[in-house]
Copies of this chain bind each other. A is one copy, B any other.
Amino acid sequence: MTNKIKIFSPATVANVSCGFDVLGFCLDTVGDEMVIKKSAKKGIHITKIEGYDLPYEAEKNVAGVSALALIKDYKPDCGFEIEIYKKIKPGSGIGSSSASAAGSVYAINELLGRPYNTTQLTNFAMKGEALASGCEHADNIAPALFGGFTLVKSCTPLKVLKIPCPEDLYATIVHPKIEIKTVESRAILPQKIELKHAVQQWANVGSLVHAMYTNDYDLIRESLVDVVVEPHRKKLIPNFDLVKTESLKNGALGCGISGSGPSIFTLSKGKETAEAVALAMQSIYSKTNIEFDIYVSSINKEGMKIMNNE
């Protein structure tokens, strides 16, 4: 039996324009690394955190909270030590807390011989996510654990659907390093929306799923439209409109807010276009005094990856 595991826990993009609170996809060039070991000492012990300053107490750390939820259910004879090599900046809008919350339960499940399925792991990870965002949701957890493109059909009971996506779909992400709290970003949204906008949005969600099945890039382009959330949240992100205009001009299929921002995602057909979009983004933010990161990534079909076993 393996007693130690090192994993890559991917960053993810939630909402995906039309699919607020429902759609998400998984990246493969951005993510945390985590090392999880079985220990004689029972419970969850976070022994190392590199990259960002996060709490060591398991009850205050998202990776700890999700892991605690799992062991509360499984009651293993051992405990677990968690090392977190945090590469996704907390608050960036590309699923930083979800990567931690999902990573710990994924790794522990592997060390225990996979007693849980992916939906069950998602449920445990949602407990960790709740610590970060104030509510249990799965829109970043699901793509991190299932990989690819996911649709969270419902949270209670949890039902995650894995939607196929074309091979040649690439994401470009720009993370302007400003702070937007998920809680604030939720507060800016209206509780009620126009029925006609809702109709437009669910037409787009349906047509995006159809487009993914039919590899119809034009239809992906036409479906990546958000008339409900983006008009409100984009105000919190400097240069959003310019990034969107330039990304589309450079061939992106669509451009929107990643999760609750401030990161902005685009989807493109082919790596070359995704890289052209990255250059356009760079050109915009390098003229500002805002620090930023840019990532180009294909869609990560697997989700979590085991890096090595000892």
A residues neighboring B (CB under 8 Å): 18-23, 151-154, 159, 161, 163, 189-195, 198-210, 213, 219, 222-223, 228
- Taking the closest CB of chain B, its distance from the CB of A153, in whole angstroms, is 4
Which B residue's beta carbon lies closest to that of A200?
Answer: B154
Cβ contacts under 8 Å, A161 to chain B:
206-207, 210, 219
B19 close to A206 (CB less than 8 A): yes
B190 close to A195 (CB less than 8 A): yes
Known: A153-B207, A205-B205, A207-B151. A222 touches B159 (CB 8 A): yes
A202 close to B22 (CB less than 8 A): yes
Which B residue's beta carbon lies closest to that of A23?
Answer: B206
New A-B pairs, 13, CB < 8 Å, besides A151-B210, A161-B219 = A22-B199, A151-B203, A153-B203, A153-B204, A153-B223, A159-B207, A161-B207, A163-B206, A192-B193, A198-B198, A205-B206, A209-B210, A213-B213
* In the bound complex, CA of A192 to CA of B154 (Å): 22
A202 close to B198 (CB less than 8 A): yes
Q: When A and B form their complex, which 3 residue pairs have the shortest distance between CB atoms, in order from nearest?
A: A202-B202, A198-B198, A192-B192
- Taking the closest CB of chain B, its distance from the CB of A16, in whole angstroms, is 11
* In the bound complex, CA of A195 to CA of B226 (Å): 13
Cβ contacts under 8 Å, A193 to chain B:
192-193, 195, 198
B192 close to A153 (CB less than 8 A): no
* In the bound complex, CA of A205 to CA of B198 (Å): 12
* In the bound complex, CA of A290 to CA of B265 (Å): 56
* In the bound complex, CA of A163 to CA of B207 (Å): 9
Cβ contacts under 8 Å, A21 to chain B:
199, 203
Q: Find A228's partner among B20, B194, B195 (CB 8 Å cutoff).
A: B195
* In the bound complex, CA of A153 to CA of B224 (Å): 12
B189 close to A192 (CB less than 8 A): no
Cβ contacts under 8 Å, A206 to chain B:
19, 22-23, 151, 153, 161, 163, 202, 205-206, 208-209
